[in-house]
Amino acid sequence: MKKLFYPLAIVTAVVYIVLFFNIKSNWIINLDQQVSDLLKGNEFLGFFHYFGEPAFVVVIAIILLLVLWIKDHNYRGMLFVLVTIAAGNVLNQLLKMWVQRPRPDIPDQLKSFSFPSGHSMTGILYLFTLAYLATEYQYSKKVKIFTWVGAVVMTVLIGMSRVAESRHFASDVLAGWSMGYTWFIIAVIWYERRKRIFKELAQKKADE
């Protein structure tokens, strides 16, 4: 992954912190209301919440783990998946318990807390993880661009679906995307560092 994307994780971390400390401020309330007025009830967007459902994400993660194991016993890649998707989901739950923000007030609303959005955070984590691993050894620039654009578009649609269905505030979704991207880049930095160390050790052993 190009290192120019690394600094963006600092920006997204700052965005999350700003949202966290201003969650009850008027500008956040106004932002949430404006986005809700724009997206609420949109059935097209609502459909995409299925791609962020926990059961769906778990199935994708399991399939990805199996592919990494069966194809070339890529244990480092398997651990990367666990760090991004599984640990990322745990982090999301911890953050929700810390903030304890109620969801939008609608009939038959979900009982869990709202900030940050789990669909948005785990959505960006599993989609970006898929895109990263799928393009890790891909030399075609067009394929890389198409894969990453697809991941970004799906991430946006999953997040917007939560506002369209009034399951989350827009600030919840933005926070989910922000923390999700930050966590993803942290995992990528660790993964690529481990890969580089492994290559250096293998080269050193070959030279001996």
Which residues, given as ranges, of the chain have pLDDT below 50? none
- Structure-block tokens of residue 20: 């966290």
Interval 96-127: pLDDT, tens: 999 999 999 898 888 899 999 999 999 999 99
- Supply the pLDDT for residue 110: 87
- Supply the pLDDT for residue 194: 81
CA distance 52 to 122: 7
- Supply the pLDDT for residue 123: 96
Q: What is the pTM of this model?
A: 0.91
CA dihedral 23→27→28→33, nearest 10 degrees, is 140
What burial class does residue 29 get, using C-beta atoms within 10 Å of its C-beta: 0-12 exposed, 13-18 middle, 19+ buried? middle
Angle at which helix 26-39 crosses helix 170-207, to 10 degrees, equals 90
In 3D, which of 157, 167, 125 has the Cα closest to residue 44?
Answer: 157
